[in-house]
């Protein structure tokens, strides 16, 4: 398996006031790569929504974010320490029609990112999203716009 081109991870308190900081850090990081502004804004929104979801349903005072940039895609993962009673973002819920805020959030994540995965490995759960560069959320090359 090849190592990522670049990557970073950070942990921040799960309080809502830190969601803006998370967006700021991510935006600054992505600007160092050949990523269009439209793609950066899409990723910031999807990550903000995921952060909000994890902060609402996760357990613990901190949230970790792992970000790695490969040649043609970006992957962002949130390891989740979830309450047994909390819902899981399953594939079926990702296709739900918007109604409540949470559904709108999942709809946005699903629309703006190219791949959304809920993974369970070695007893640990994580929520991860992939964005392939050079494609806008409507499937048209962003750089041609």
CA–CA distance, 89 with 25 (Å, rounded to integer)? 25
CA–CA distance, 9 with 65 (Å, rounded to integer)? 5
C-beta neighbour count of 92 within 10 angstroms: 7
- The smaller minimum CB distance to other proteins, of residues 39 and 80, is found at 39
Give the ranges where 58-113 is alpha helix by DSSP (H).
91-94, 101-112
What is the nearest approach in angstroms of other proteins to the Cβ of residue 68? 24
Smallest CA-to-CA distance from 129 within 114, 139, 119, 143 is with 114
CA–CA distance, 130 with 16 (Å, rounded to integer)? 23
Q: Could you say whether residue 93 binds other proteins (CB under 8 A)? A: no
What six digits make up the tokens of 136? 């806008």
CB 9 within 8 A of CB 26: no
The one among 34, 100, 121, 139 contacting other proteins by CB under 8 A: 100
Residues 17-46 that bind other proteins (CB under 8 A): 17, 19-20, 23, 38, 41, 44-45
Q: Could you say whether residue 105 binds other proteins (CB under 8 A)? A: yes
Q: Could you say whether residue 98 binds other proteins (CB under 8 A)? A: yes
Q: Could you say whether residue 16 binds other proteins (CB under 8 A)? A: yes
Region near other proteins per CB under 8 A, out of 65-73, 85-93, 96-104, 126-134? 96-104
Q: Could you say whether residue 102 binds other proteins (CB under 8 A)? A: yes
User: Which residues of this protein are in contact with other proteins, per CB under 8 A?
Assistant: 16-17, 19-20, 23, 38, 41, 44-45, 48-49, 52, 55, 98, 100-102, 104-105, 107-108, 111-112, 137
């Amino acid at each position: 398996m090849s190592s990522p081109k670049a990557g970073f991870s950070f942990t921040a308190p799960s309080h809502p006031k830190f969601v803006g900081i998370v967006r700021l850090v991510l935006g600054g990081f992505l600007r160092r790569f050949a990523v269009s502004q439209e793609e950066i804004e899409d990723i910031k929104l999807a990550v903000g929504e995921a952060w909000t979801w994890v902060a609402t349903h996760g357990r613990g005072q901190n949230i970790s974010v792992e970000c790695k940039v490969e040649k043609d895609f970006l992957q962002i993962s949130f390891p989740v320490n979830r309450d047994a009673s909390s819902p899981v973002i399953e594939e079926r819920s990702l296709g739900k029609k918007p109604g409540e805020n949470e559904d709108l959030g999942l709809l946005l994540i699903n629309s703006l990112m190219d791949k959304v995965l809920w993974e369970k490995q070695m007893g640990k759960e994580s929520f991860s999203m992939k964005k392939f560069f050079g494609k806008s959320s409507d499937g048209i090359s962003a750089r041609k716009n």
